[in-house]
Each structure stands twice: as structure tokens, then as C-alpha cells.
Amino acid sequence: MPTHRISLPGFILIMIAGLSPAGADVGPTLDALRGADYMKGKQSFQSRCSACHTLADSSGDIAGPNLWGIFDRVAGKKSGFTYSAALRDAAFPWSPARLDAWLADPRGYLPGNIMGIPEAVPAAERLNILSFLMIETGAVDWPRPETNFADAQTDASRPPSERFPSFWNHLMFNTARYRWENAAAGEDYSFDAYFKTDGTVVTSEKRVTGFWHITARNFFCYALTGMPVGVGHMVECFPVAAMAIPRFAEELWVSKPQPGVQLHGGMIAGRPDWVYGGPAP
């Protein structure tokens, strides 16, 4: 009977979908995705994903693959990108439901994947990110909102806490740990710095203080004085975008503020009370 022949492949497909990694057939509905908040999705994508992924057609791969057309392609198959075996061997096409399940459980979904995001993405943000991604990777032609949000970030009349919320919360409420190393001069000096919302910097060394500001090109620049090493002061700038993804580790970056010096920097969660005006150590 012809009907049986026709219905069998459909039945098998449903079976395969049911057996593939969790979350294949549950997830946000199309209506929920269509009604999601594009601007919030964009903001979440920028703070959580954009350091590793471009979206536009034929943009390059960075740490992660370019995502144009992601909802039309089989996982782990973009040519020119080197995937983990976990993703390379995944045989399913990406759907919003599957991506939703992955972002909800970055390690447990597809064990062995090498997408190093520090934490699960909360459900409310996932819906907005997925909707934004569907629009920006060409999966749907839903209209973008009228407001030109791209420019929330470059609108200098808005405070940095609104323009760069992720960066702001990370740097202004945690501890930046530094190690100044100049082997030739025999210098090996560690201190903690606390960037404060009023534009000043205090450190674990009473006499080392400083200030910071964000330039028109969105570089975060800071100066420290009173240091017992080098010429006694230093200035550094880095793009705000470089800290778009909050990470904690003793050593996250190394810079060369002065000839012969390696300045190791990292972020430690939290900061002591005295930074906010309590008794200094």
C-alpha cells in the first residue's frame, strides 16, 4: 500500500528526533520566539556569545564557528571549522529547541563539546537570544524593531552601566588581581585592585591608587600611581569588549605596560567591605 511506504520515513524521523539528545522536541514555541524581545536578545548575545561567534553571512570564524544559516545546517558541519568529536559526530540539524537545550546545560548536552561558556544561560535570556539569532542568521524574516538599538552601546549619553552591563558588573563588583613581573629587575609584585563606580581605583596597597575612564572608542583606560616597581606608575587600555564574558581565574590576561614587564591579570569573585568605605586593612 502506497500510504504505508509514504508514512514510514516520517515515522522513522520522529523516532530519530525522539532518540537524539534531550530537548529535541520540547522548547520554545514559534509564537513565543516571534514575540521575544529582540533588543534584549541582542544584548544577551553580545555579552554571552559575540566574543566567539559572528553572525553575518560569510563573516569569519573566531573561537567558535560563524553562525549564519545555523538553523539550516547539521550540527558540527561548517566547513573550515575544527569541531570537537562530540559536535562533529552529532547528526541532527540545529533547531531552536535543540539549541535551547544546549544553552540550558552547556556541559551535559553533547558531553565533550568544547564550547567553553562559563554557565548555563537562564531561560528568559535563551528565548530572546534564540529569537534574535533566528532573525540575524536568516532563519526567519520577522521584522527587527524600529529602534536602532545597535547604538545603545555607542550612545555616550547613557551611563556605562547601561551600555555595558556585563562588563560593568564584572569589573565594578569583583577583584582584579595583578602580578607585576620584571625578571631582569628582580621585581615580582602582586596586588589586588578595585575599580569603583565613581571612576577611582583603590588597591590592596594603600599608596597605590588610580582612576579610570571609558574612551569614545569604548576602550577602558586606567592609571595607577604609587607603585613600588618600575617607574612607579602605569597606564593601560583595553577594549571593553575584551571583557564581555565574565570569567573568574587568577590569570586571565598578560600585558606589557613597560619594557621588560609582564603584568599578569585575573578576576576574583567579590571584594572586601573596606573598599566601600569601611576601615582599610
**Minimum distance from residue 66 beta carbon to ligand HEC (Å):** 9
**Minimum distance from residue 253 beta carbon to ligand HEC (Å):** 15
Element (H, E) at 254: strand 249-255
Task: Check binding of 103 to ligand HEC (CB under 6 A).
Answer: yes
Task: Check binding of 99 to ligand HEC (CB under 6 A).
Answer: yes
Q: Which residue has the cell 514510514?
A: 8
The CA distance from 56 to 59, in Å, is 5
Among the candidate windows 82-90, 164-172, 201-209, 214-222, which touches ligand HEC by CB under 6 A? 82-90
Nearer to ligand HEC, 69 or 199 (CB): 69
Among the candidate windows 72-80, 153-161, 183-191, 229-237, which touches ligand HEC by CB under 6 A? 72-80
**Minimum distance from residue 113 beta carbon to ligand HEC (Å):** 3
Nearer to ligand HEC, 137 or 204 (CB): 137
Task: Check binding of 17 to ligand HEC (CB under 6 A).
Answer: no
**Backbone torsions φ then ψ of 263, nearest 5 degrees:** -105, 110
Task: Check binding of 98 to ligand HEC (CB under 6 A).
Answer: no
Show Cβ contacts of residue 207 under 8 Å, excluding neighbours closer than 6 positions. Answer: 226
**Minimum distance from residue 11 beta carbon to ligand HEC (Å):** 27
β-pair partners for 202: 194, 209
Among 36, 55, 75, 176, binds ligand HEC (CB under 6 A): 75
Q: Which of residues 42-71 bind ligand HEC (CB under 6 A)?
A: 48-49, 51-53, 63-65, 67, 70
Q: In terms of Cα–Cα distance, which of 128, 196, 194, 202 is closest to 161?
A: 196
x/- mask, ligand HEC, residues 118-147, rule CB under 6 A, reads: ---x-------x------------------
* Single-letter code of the amino acid located at 206: K
Q: Which residue has the cell 515515522?
A: 11
The CA distance from 125 to 44, in Å, is 7
Among the candidate windows 15-23, 81-89, 166-174, 209-217, which touches ligand HEC by CB under 6 A? 81-89
The CA distance from 209 to 267, in Å, is 18
Task: Check binding of 275 to ligand HEC (CB under 6 A).
Answer: no
Task: Check binding of 113 to ligand HEC (CB under 6 A).
Answer: yes
The CA distance from 191 to 179, in Å, is 7
- DSSP of 177-236: EEEEEETTTTEEEEEEEEE-TTSEEEESSTT-EEEEEE-TTSEEEEEEE--SSTTSEEEE
Binding region for ligand HEC (CB under 6 A): 48-49, 51-53, 63-65, 67, 70, 75-76, 78, 83-84, 86-87, 94, 99, 103, 113-117, 121, 129, 245
